[in-house]
Amino acid sequence: MTGLYQACFFTGTISTTWLEFGLSYLPADSEIAWRLPLALQTVPSLILLSGVYFIPETPRWWYGQGNVEKAREVLIKYHGDGNPDSAIVALELEEMSAVVSVNGAHSRWWDIRDLFNSRANRYRSFLIIAFALFSELDLPPTRYTQSSLI
């Protein structure tokens, strides 16, 4: 999965760099020079959004909602190869039961209080947020065609 991400990242970076290089030959006041790259960024998002509807809910979500049978159906379909007596399905249901009994079904995954409940956690959260913000200040690779180095 990581390799696929890297391949897609560099494919996108190389293609946008060549696109912007080609568009750099257009007149400076051309609107297509900024509209086309902006519009092309929506294509992968639209493809992803069109497929999200077909992705089933996770068995853990069904189990947390109290619908154990629906969780079992999803596990049988995707992990048990259609076999309702699969050992993998039984094991995963047992693991989900253990997690719910320890954490409780009422626990929310979006509870962010743990990120700020101690000084060390606040410091870590600040570092992560600062790193994300400062990484956005760097010029993206597609801006190289407009630098004075070329």
User: What's the total number of domains in the chain?
Assistant: 3
CA 1 to chain centre: 12
Q: What does the pLDDT look like over 58-76, one tens digit per residue?
A: 888 888 888 899 999 999 9
DSSP-based three-state secondary structure for 118: coil
Contact between 114 and 124 (Cβ < 8 Å): no
State if pTM tops 0.75: no
Q: Which residue has the tokens 């596990």?
A: 75
Report the length, in residues, of the chain. 150
d(CA 130, CA 33) in angstroms, rounded, equals: 32
Shared-domain flag, residues 137 and 150 = yes
Shared-domain flag, residues 22 and 7 = yes
The CA-based angle 43-45-51, given to 5 degrees, is 110
Instruction: Tell me what percent of the residues of the chain surpass a pLDDT of 90.
Output: 27
Position 104 confidence tier, pLDDT thresholds 50, 70, 90: low
d(CA 109, CA 73) in angstroms, rounded, equals: 23
Shared-domain flag, residues 5 and 34 = yes
CA 53 to chain centre: 16
Average pLDDT, stretch 109-129?
A: 88
Q: What does the pLDDT look like over 1-27, one tens digit per residue?
A: 678 878 888 888 888 889 988 998 988
Give residue 44's domain range.
1-54
For the chain, the 3-state helix, strand and coil shares in percent, each to the nearest 5, are: 70, 0, 30
d(CA 29, CA 101) in angstroms, rounded, equals: 63
Shared-domain flag, residues 117 and 139 = yes
d(CA 75, CA 89) in angstroms, rounded, equals: 6
Shared-domain flag, residues 39 and 63 = no
Is residue 122 over pLDDT 80? Answer: yes
